[in-house]
Amino acid sequence: MDEMTQLRELRADAPVPDRGALTPGRQRLTEAAASGRRARRLRADWRLAAVGAAAAITVAAVLGTQLGDAAAPSRSGPASTTGTLRLDSPAEVLNQAADALEKQPAGPEPRDDQWIYTRTAQRASQGDQNGASLGPATYDPDSWVPYDNSAAAEKGKDPDYRTARQVYRAANALPDDPARLLAEIRSFYPTGNTAEDPPEREAQHSFRAIGLMAEAYPVAPAALARIYRAMATIPGVRVTGHLVKDAAGREAIAITRKEDGSHEQREILIDPHDFGYAGQRFVVAEDYAQTLSDGKVERQTFRFEAGQVLTSEARTEAAVVDAKGEKP
């Protein structure tokens, strides 16, 4: 499902956050950054963070987090070791994950009349002039989407939206050769071609598109294995040298790539136990300061430190069910 649609529906009946609780500087930062958003980028991979922490602050407000709530540590610190898995080479990690996935049995493709059940958690930065810290986790309501959601795909305005059936079949048809696979995924999830949505460089396009396919559910284990092997070949891809925490507090492997022309990095999170997709994060990649003004008041500078998590999303449950409302 389009998570931005989920986000809008999440608290549709909730009261608007009290703006009196927001500092003037945070309001200006949010409003200034909002004017430069690219609509097509606001999708499941939380491209909100790519335009800076201001967008993440907006998400926090939409989710209804309270500024007075206790926040998690601002830096993504070590969680634990992963046994024999060494987290010093993205190729080693992703190829080992692929080896394990190839041994997993593949179930049948869902029927067109079945539904995809998912539940997700999100955390968003609550920033101010001194930096940013994560707000508390917020869980989406349970979601059910038809496996064959063709009607919604035809009517949808999000160019990155694909039905679960479309992604499942496209993933199964991907070639083994990493270069050909990446080319097909870029074609499946095209880049922009307008001034408002400019084209991405090839490596960034590949990492964004492959993240969209990896997060889809269901994806056959052998198909996900090919996706991981190709992911390891994308220029600029790295692995964090320790396990990180996802939005639900679970340990995860972070496969990362710094966003072109940005101070943030996109992270694809992988379950260290079964190597399935776990979630995504945007994290500050380097210390930086951003000075903004709304034109009406004095300019203010906001500072961010490498390692601060801007937005985080975790898929906590996913299953194929026979009817809307049914849970596994």
- What are 219-267's pLDDT values in tens digits? 999 999 999 999 999 999 999 999 999 999 999 999 999 999 999 999 9
- pLDDT tens for each residue of 119-175: 999 998 866 555 556 777 888 889 999 999 988 766 666 788 899 999 999 999 999
Lowest mean pLDDT among 75-79, 113-117, 124-128: 75-79
Q: What does the pLDDT read at residue 159?
A: 80
User: Which residues is 314 bridged to in the sheet?
Assistant: 121, 279
- At 11 the three-state DSSP class reads coil
Q: With contact defined as beta carbons under 8 Å apart, do 232 and 180 qualify?
A: no
- pLDDT, residue 162, reads 93
pLDDT, position 141: 86
Half-sphere exposure of residue 65: CA atoms within 13 angstroms, side-chain side: 26
- Given a contact cutoff of 8 angstroms between Cβ atoms, the answer to whether 256 and 264 are in contact is no
DSSP structure string for 102-157: HTSPP-PPPPTT-EEEEEEEEEEEEEETTEEEE---EEPPPEEEESS-HHHHHH--
Cite the DSSP H helix spans in 189-249: 202-215, 221-231
User: What are the backbone dihedrals phi and psi of residue 152, each rounded to the nearest 5 degrees, phi first?
Assistant: -65, -35
CB contact at 8 A, 133 and 73 = yes
Q: Considering the entire predicted model, what is its pTM?
A: 0.76
**pLDDT, tens digit, 9 for 90 and up, residues 29-69:** 333 333 332 333 333 333 333 333 333 333 333 333 222 22
Could you count the other beta carbons within 10 Å of the beta carbon of residue 201? 12
- A 10 A CB-CB count for 141 gives 10
- Angstrom distance (rounded) from CA 137 to CA 134: 9
185, pLDDT greater than 80? yes
Phi and psi at 150, nearest 5°, equal -60, -40
